[in-house]
Amino acid sequence: MKINRRAFLQGVGASSIVSSLSGLMPGIASATEQRGGAPDKLLKREGEIKYHTCQRNCADRCLLKFTVQNGRMTYVEGASEMKKMGTSPCVKGHAYVQYTYAADRILHPMERAGEKGEGKWRRISWDEAYAKISSRLKTIIKDHGADSILPYSYSGHEGVIGKYGGPSRFFNAVGARKLDRKVCVFAAYEGLKSVTGTYQGPDPYDNIYTNCYISWGQNETATNVHGIKFINQARDKGAKLLVVNPIRTPIASQADIWLQPKPSTDTHLAAGIMKYLIENNLADTKFIEANTLGYQDLLKRLDGMSYDEIEKVTGVPTEKMFKFAKAYGESELSVLRLGYGMQRNYNGARMSRAIAMMHAVAGQYGKIGNGFIYDNTQADDSLNYSKGRADHIHPNSDTVGHVNMTEIAKAIHPTNPTAYGKPIKPIKAVINYNGNFVSVAPDSNACRRGAMRDDLFLVVHDFLMTDTAELADIIVPSTTQFEFPDMGTDYNCYHMQTSEKVIEPVGESKDNWIFFKELAAHMGLDHHPELRVDYEQILRDFLDTDEPAFRHNNITYEQIIKEKFVTVYDQRPYFGDGKYKTDSGKIEFYSEMMKDAGYHPVIDFGLPEDEMIPEEKNLPFRMLSPAIPQRANSAFYNVKYIRNFPAYFAKVNTEDAKELGIENNDRVRLSNHRGEAFFIAQVSSQVGRGTLMAPKNNWRRMDPQGKASCTNNLTTDKLTDMGGCSAYHSTNVALEKA
Amino acid sequence: MSINQKVGFVFRQENCVGCGACTVACQIHNELPENHRFRKVDRYEVQREDGAIDVWLSHSCMHCENPACLMVCPTKAYHVRDDGIVVLDREKCTGCGLCVSACPYSAVSIREDDGKADKCNMCVELLDRGMKPACVTGCPVQCIEVDSIDEVLKKPSASKEGVGYGDCITKPNMVIIKERA
Ligand code: SF4
Ligand code: SF4
Ligand code: SF4
C-alpha cells in the first residue's frame, strides 16, 4: 500500500482530535500552534497491523503490534488490548524495526574462504550451500554415524515452530545426537517439586490483590518489566514490597525492606526467616497442620542452626532479617516471585527448596493474592511436543547419548570429549541455529577452541555475524522471527499467543522451518511426511492435545489466529483445593526425593564454594552474571538505539574498589583459571563486598576494549546439584585495575 | 477543561526503574540520530539511614513557563503554544547554541547530523490527535504521563521537587508525584 502524504495528513484532521488524557484537550491546532509538530513522523504508524509475539526468552512474551507499509515493517507498539502488555514493549522491543533492518544483517549464504575464524568469506548460492552441507553431513554419517551430528540451539527463537517444530523434525529424521536444553530453570524445578510437586504457580494478574510482594533473586526490570505495574498497583493500595537480592536491583531500591545476602547463601537466609516465624508465633500452624508433612523434622533441623551462624554465612544483619521476617509473617497475603537466575548455582535446587518451604511455614499458598510464582508454563506444557517435533521418527533417541548444552565446551573438546562426566564419541558436526554458543555457553575460550577444530564441521544459521558464526564453515542466513508465522506461549501469565508473519524474508534469508525442510529434501529425508508440511500443520500438531488446562476453554487453532491471544485455564486460586502435586499430596518438609538425590531430606546447607577446586575457591570475588534490561541473552548487541547502553561493565563495591585503587570508569581485569575479561568499573554499593556483577552473554567480537573478551570467558560449566542446569553464578574471579 | 490549560510531564519517580525504554521510544518516534536523546534517564545514589538506594530521573524538556531557550534565541525559533508546550521550529534555527547554554535542564543540544538545536516538543503531532507522547506510551512501568499541571499540582503528593530535579526561575512544568509515603 502506498501512502499519499497529503491524503494522509487530511485523513488525520480535526475530527480525530479526541483526547484521552484524563479530560485533557490540548490546544486545537491553529497555524502557529502547529509549529514544532512533525506530522511526517506519524506516517510510520499508518498501515496494516500485524500481531506478533516477542520470542526472546523473556517471561513477558509481549504481544506486539507491527505496522507494515509496502511490505516493510515501520513501527511497533504493545498490543494494549492485552492487560499484561499495556502500550509499551520493553526498551529492546521498541527497537525491533532497527533489529530487523540492521545494517549488519547477513543476507546470503557464505562459505569460509580462509582458515577458521580468519574472517574471509565467499558468497555462495543456496543450492551450493545445500549441496555442500548435505554432502558433508552424509559423509560424516557414513564415517562416524548420525549421532556425531549435534544441534545447538536455545533461546534465540522461542516460537513453537522456530524453536522445536521446524528444526527438531530434521534432527529426528537425521538421528542426530540429542542436546539437553537445560541451561536455565531446571535446578529450581527439582527444588520446588520436592516441596509442592510443581514449579508452576498463580496468575501474576492476581498480584494486585496481595498485601506483600516478595521478589527473591529476581530483577523484574530486566526480565519481567511488564509485571512491575501490577506490583505497583498492589503497593498503591498499601502492599509491602520485600526484596532479597545480592544486587541492588531497581525494585530493591524501592522496597520497604531489602536484604542483601552474600551470593548463594539463600538456604541459610530462608532457614533464618523460618526460624524467626516459628519462634515468634508467625508460622501458620493451622495451615501447616492441614497441608504439610515432616514439620517436626523441620523444627529439629532449624534447632541446630543459630542466628549467629546464619548472619555469618549470609552477611545479613540478624536484626534486619528479623524486621523482614516480621513484616512477611504479619502479612495476610504474600506472593513470592523467585528469579530465574539464582538457581544457576551449584546449590540451586537446594536453595529453591528452602525458599518454597519458608512460604509454607508462613502459610502462603492457596489464596488469591498469595502463592509462589516461578515458571508458569501452563500453556507451554499443554502442547503436544512429541507430535509437534515428530519425535516418533527417531524413537531410539535415548541410545544416541545426550549432550547437556551447558557442557558444549566439554562435548566438542579437541582430545577428550565428555558429557555428564563420561567420555563420549566425538562430535563431528555442530549445526548452530537460534543460538550463539561461543558467547552464551560458559567457558567461552574452551567453546572457541572446540569450534576451531579442523575436523569439526560448523554450520551456523543466523542473521548476524556472531562470535559463533565467525568460526563457521558455512553460514546460512536466517530470517528474524518476524518473517514467518508462528505461535508462542507465555511463561508468566498463562497465555498462548499468535505470531503472524509480519514481512517477507529479508534478502535471501530462510526461516527455521524452510531451511531445515529444504535441507532434509537435499539429504533425501523428505520421505517422512512430517518434513513436507506447512506452518499451519506444525502448529496444529502442537495444538493436538488433550491437556485439561488447554481443553477447558476448547482452545483451537482458529481461535488463536482470530483472537490473537487466549488464556489457558488454570486453577484460581492456585492450590485452593489444598491438593499438592507431590507423591504424598502434601507440602513436604521432609523429602525422599532430596534424600534420593544425596542431599539432606529437610534442608541442605551446602554452598557452591564446597564444590569449587581450590584455585577457584581461593579467589576473592564471586562474579554474578545476570541479565540487564537492554539485552536478551546475546541478542540486541548490534541494534541501533540499544547498542550504546553499556553491557561491558563490572559493578564493584565501593569499599573493595577503594582497597584496590579502582575508581569509577577505570578499566579492570577479571580473571580465573579459565581466562580473563576486561570491563569498565562501575563503583557503587549496588553490590556487596566480595561480589562483582558483569552482564551475561556479551560478545567477544563487540568488546569495546578491543580485547575480544567477554563475561563467559570466566564462567563455570559445571552443572547444578539437581536438574542438570547451568551454574554461571558459581564463578569466582580475581579483580585488578587493568 | 479549557484548551488553554497548561500541560506538562507528570513523573512518578518512586516507580521509575531506569530501564531506558522512554529514551528509546522517543528516539524512534522522533527519528533521532543514535547518539541524540531528548529524554535522558539519570541514576542517583541516595544515602539513607539504612544504606544507599538508587533513584532514577527520566527527564526531557520541562516546557517552562519562562523558557530561557526562548528568551535567548536570536532567530525566534522557540514558541509557546496556548497549552504551554514550548516548541522549537528547527527551520529557524541557525545552530548558534545560545539556547543550549541557557537551558538550566540540559534539555537542548545541537545535533551532529545538521548542526541545529533539537529538543523534545512533547510529541505535539501526537497530542493534537488525542494521542500521548512516545515516552508516555513507551514506558512499560507507566510512570510518565502528561496532564494539566495546575490540576496535578493540587494533589498533596505533587511537587516540583524530586531527586535530581528542582524548581527554578524558568518555572519548569514537570511535576513529580509521590503517592506512597
Ligand atoms: S524482551 Fe521481554 S519485555 Fe521486551 S519485548 Fe520481548 S517479551 Fe517484551
Ligand atoms: S521507561 Fe519508565 S521506568 Fe523506564 S526509565 Fe523511562 S520512565 Fe523510568
Ligand atoms: S527545559 Fe530548557 S529547553 Fe525546555 S523550555 Fe525550559 S529552558 Fe527551554
For A676-711, what is each residue's pLDDT tens digit? 999 999 999 999 999 999 999 999 999 999 999 999
Q: Which ligand is nearest to the CA of A61?
A: 1
**Residue indicated by cell numbers 504424598:** A584
In this prediction, residue A3 has a pLDDT band, given cuts at 50, 70 and 90, of very low
Residues 6+ apart with CB under 8 A from B165: B57, B59, B174, B176
Distance from CA of B125 to the nearest CA of A (A): 5
pLDDT at A26 over 60: no
- Distance of CA B141 from the midpoint of ligand 2 (Å): 7
Average pLDDT over residues A209-235: 98
pLDDT at A449 over 70: yes
In this prediction, residue B112 has a pLDDT band, given cuts at 50, 70 and 90, of very high
In this structure, what C-alpha cell is assigned to residue A647? 553491557
pLDDT at B3 over 70: no
- A314-323, A327-336, A498-507, A545-554: segment of lowest average pLDDT: A545-554
Q: Which of B12, B16, B40 to mutate to test the pocket of ligand 2 (most atoms within 8 A of CB)?
A: B16
pLDDT at A551: 84
Interface test with A, best of B127, B150, B163 (most A CBs within 10 A): B127
Instruction: Decide the pairing of beta strands A110-112 and A474-477.
Output: antiparallel
**Ligand 3 pocket member B69 (CB < 6 A):** yes
Instruction: Locate the ligand 1 atom nearest the alpha carbon of residue A96 and give its number.
Output: 5
**Ligand 2 pocket member B144 (CB < 6 A):** yes
DSSP secondary structure letter of residue A691: E
- Distance of CA B69 from the midpoint of ligand 3 (Å): 6
Q: What are phi and psi of A339, to 5 degrees?
A: -75, 165
Between CA A435 and CA A456 the distance in angstroms is 18
pLDDT at A453 over 80: yes
Largest CA distance in chain B: 52
* A167-174 helix and A512-522 helix, angle to the nearest 10 degrees: 20
- For B180, name the nearest residue in chain A, comparing CA atoms only: A236
| Residues above pLDDT 90, as percent of chain A | 91
Q: Which of B14, B18, B140 lies closest to A88 in CB terms?
A: B140
pLDDT at B180: 87
Between CA A668 and CA A735 the distance in angstroms is 7
Residues 6+ apart with CB under 8 A from A651: A247, A682, A683, A684, A686, A687, A692, A693, A694
Strand partners, A683: A652
Residues 6+ apart with CB under 8 A from A622: A262, A263, A264, A690, A691, A692, A729, A731, A732, A733
CB contact under 8 A, B180 and A236: yes
Instruction: Decide the pairing of beta strands A621-624 and A667-672.
Output: unpaired
Contact A42, B30 (CB under 8 A): no
pLDDT at A6 over 70: no
CB contact under 8 A, B19 and A629: yes
Extract the runs of DSSP E, i.e. beta strands, from A389-481. Answer: 403-404, 418-419, 422-423, 429-433, 457-462, 474-477
Between CA B32 and CA B117 the distance in angstroms is 12
pLDDT at A121 over 50: yes
Q: pLDDT digits over A336-352, tens only? A: 999 999 999 999 999 99
Q: Tell me which H or E stretch contains A462.
A: strand A457-462
pLDDT at A532: 97
* Rg from Cα positions in chain A: 26
pLDDT at A36 over 90: no
Name the residue with the closest Cα to ligand 1, atom 5: A93
Q: Which ligand is nearest to the CA of B108?
A: 3
pLDDT at A398: 63
The mean pLDDT of chain A is 94
pLDDT at A396: 63
CB contact under 8 A, A253 and B129: no
**Based on the number of CB atoms within 10 Å of its own CB, is B49 exposed (0-12), middle (13-18) or buried (19 or more)?**
exposed
Residues of A in contact with B179 (CB under 8 A): 236
A197 alpha carbon, distance to own chain's centre: 22
pLDDT at A276: 98
| Residues above pLDDT 70, as percent of chain A | 94
- A36-45, A368-377, A647-656, B50-59: segment of lowest average pLDDT: A36-45
Residues 6+ apart with CB under 8 A from A455: A426, A428
Average pLDDT over residues A472-489: 98
Instruction: Decide the pairing of beta strands A587-588 and B7-11.
Output: unpaired
Q: pLDDT digits over A578-626, tens only? A: 999 999 999 999 999 999 999 999 999 999 999 999 999 999 999 999 9
Residues of B in contact with A26 (CB under 8 A): 3, 7, 83, 85, 124, 127-128
pLDDT at B133 over 80: yes
Q: What are phi and psi of A343, to 5 degrees?
A: -75, -10
Nearest CA to A635 out of A439, A494, A484, A455 is that of A439
pLDDT at A550: 85
The mean pLDDT of chain B is 95
pLDDT at A19 over 50: no
Q: pLDDT digits over A373-429, tens only? A: 999 999 999 999 999 999 999 866 666 689 999 999 999 999 999 999 999 999 999
- Give one word for A412, left, alpha or beta, with left for phi > 0 and alpha for psi -120 to 50: alpha
Q: pLDDT digits over A512-544, tens only? A: 999 999 999 999 999 999 999 999 999 999 999
Q: How many CB pairs under 8 A join A and B?
A: 177
pLDDT at A20 over 90: no
Extract the runs of DSSP E, i.e. beta strands, from A557-603. Answer: 565-567, 587-588
Instruction: List residues near ligand 1 (CB under 6 A).
Output: A 54, 56, 58, 60-62, 89-90, 92-93, 225-226, 632
pLDDT at A10: 29
In this prediction, residue A23 has a pLDDT band, given cuts at 50, 70 and 90, of very low
- Distance of CA B88 from the midpoint of ligand 3 (Å): 10
Instruction: Locate the ligand 2 atom nearest the alpha carbon of residue A91 and give its number.
Output: 1
Interface test with B, best of A40, A60, A77, A91 (most B CBs within 10 A): A91
Contact B174, B68 (CB under 8 A): no
pLDDT at A395: 67
User: A608 preceded by cis ω (within 30°)?
Assistant: no
